[in-house]
Structure 1
């Protein structure tokens, strides 16, 4: 990835952990938020199914686990908008899963 591409994309810094927005603003992440984003971003724009998300996040029950993931995502969306002035590019695929759209 070129320098220009890197500056115009969302990046995850696992060492801190933090999310770096295309406008270079950052937000600190909890370990759960970091796990969720790492899972979604690793799919490179592909959909991550509910089952795979629940498994990756270490939840035992599928529906309860996905509800917790959705709750975390809702808080992360608000936090990202407040901290970066940009919408977090995570899209829901109804009944199937989530996609991080860079």
Structure 2
């Protein structure tokens, strides 16, 4: 069972997140601010922290920065309404493992918490090869050659899996839409473009190599670098 702390000052939203994550089998505690979080961490086991940015008193960025030092094995998922690129950069640079923008599907939030937990508690896993890009099938991480891994959301992972399986050829737009759970005929492809644009920005922010993911005219999208699926 994963122990999750949810720090959110909006009581209704906090109760909703706690309820849904609890129904999915996690041990969840809702907290209103950083002071309550500190008391909780001092006495209760916590694996994953779901953290809002706009909190009374100490904000989420400050909390994440100090916990990255004092609790290095605590996974942090930021969940906030602030979706601008600058906000994402600040959140990730403060020590968050992943940055999610409200509203978020509770199934995806649960999957993110489970992925963060698995990544922090992996044992006896062979070391990934250093050459080429890797898509880690167990931890949902995208890893550049010799670089630090980045955790993908479940939707981003599904899209990257289709791209990696098609590489070096382009992946069809219809196949990518299917990976998002939608048939091609009635799918608004602007949603796919938005999802891939966010994924491209995430790659650029962390790796500085946005050109690896680009559109392929009249076909779909291509990951234009050697990449392999890594089973661990």
Map 1:5-16 to 2 at 5 A: 6-16=129-139
Q: Residue 84 in 1 paired to residue 207 in 2?
A: yes
Map 1:1-102 to 2 at 5 A: 6-60=129-183, 61-62=186-187, 64=188, 66-87=189-210, 89-102=212-225
TM-score by length of 1: 0.80
Deviations 1:30-83 (A, max 9, x none): 000000000110013112111222123211423x0x221211111111111111
SS in 2 for 1:71: helix
The Cα shift of 1:88 comes to 5.2
Return 5+ residue gaps in structure 2 as ranges: 1-128, 226-232
Structure 2: how far apart are the matches of 1:87 and 1:18? 16
TM-score by length of 2: 0.38
CA RMSD of aligned residues (A): 1.7
When residues 15 and 98 of structure 1 are mapped into structure 2, their CA distance, relative to the original with a 3 A threshold, is same
Q: Is the 8 A contact 1:26 1:84 kept in 2?
A: no
Structure 2: how far apart are the matches of 1:53 and 1:79? 18
Structure 2: how far apart are the matches of 1:83 and 1:16? 17
SS in 2 for 1:58: coil
Q: Is the 8 A contact 2:162 2:175 kept in 1?
A: no
SS in 2 for 1:7: coil
